Chains A and B, each alone.
Chain A
Amino acid sequence: GAGVSQSPRYKVAKRGQDVALRCDPISGHVSLFWYQQALGQGPEFLTYFQNEAQLDKSGLPSDRFFAERPEGSVSTLKIQRTQQEDSAVYLCASSTELDSPLHFGNGTRLTVT
């Protein structure tokens, strides 16, 4: 079956531009997570959805970051007025239920110049 799909795979943005990253989870997975991974580091939690409800957004680093999942399936992570420190790989993961293993997409590598 299809895994978690993320697009684009690579994104280059000029500082100050807005970007939108898309995640299409595994069909039927109610939980969806966004992580940020800097080079040489582990994934850092950003936010978590259960169906369409955003239950935890404590990891979003600033109010420039916004995530949504309006119909409980596809999710979009939006970063406004990108900064160089936003350069990282953004990973999306989904799972079937609370405490079950995460399945990751291939990530979007964002480079802000």
Chain B
Amino acid sequence: QKEVEQNSGPLSVPEGAIASLNCTYSDRGSQSFFWYRQYSGKSPELIMFIYSNGDKEDGRFTAQLNKASQYVSLLIRDSQPSDSATYLCAVNIGTGNQFYFGTGTSLTVIP
């Protein structure tokens, strides 16, 4: 089992819909969780981070963390074509400062 797992997609949603991206992780002791967006040919850029159980909202983005289920998700409300990208989940695993990434979920927002 990989440390961080994501469905690779592709996930397609119509413009204006809610996109839901999911991520599971293996280390129950993990404390910090990050979502990055990566456009084709570009480097990852941070969207959100979450450290505590529950929801964290920032504009159209909501991160949800459930440590008991070892599950973190990202909701994108009112999806726009410019949201079309690969979304990477990253988890700080172990006692060191080692961030593990999932393989990413490809999202396409259809106008």
Contact = CB atoms under 8 A, between A and B. Distances in A.
Interface string A21-50: 000000000010101000011111100101
B46 A102 contact: yes
B25 interface: no
Interface size bucket, B side?
20 to 34
A101 interface: yes
Contacts of B31: 99
Given A43-B88, A99-B92, A104 B100 contact: no
Interface string B4-38: 10100000000000000000000000011010000
B34, B88, B97: most-surrounded residue (chain A CB, <10 A) = B97
A42 B99 contact: no
Interface string A69-113: 000000000000000000000010000001101111111000000
Given A104-B43, A105-B43, A45 B100 contact: yes
Interface of B: 4, 6, 31-32, 34, 42-46, 49, 51, 88, 90, 92, 96-104
Interface of A: 31, 33, 35, 40-45, 48, 50, 55-56, 58, 91, 98-99, 101-107
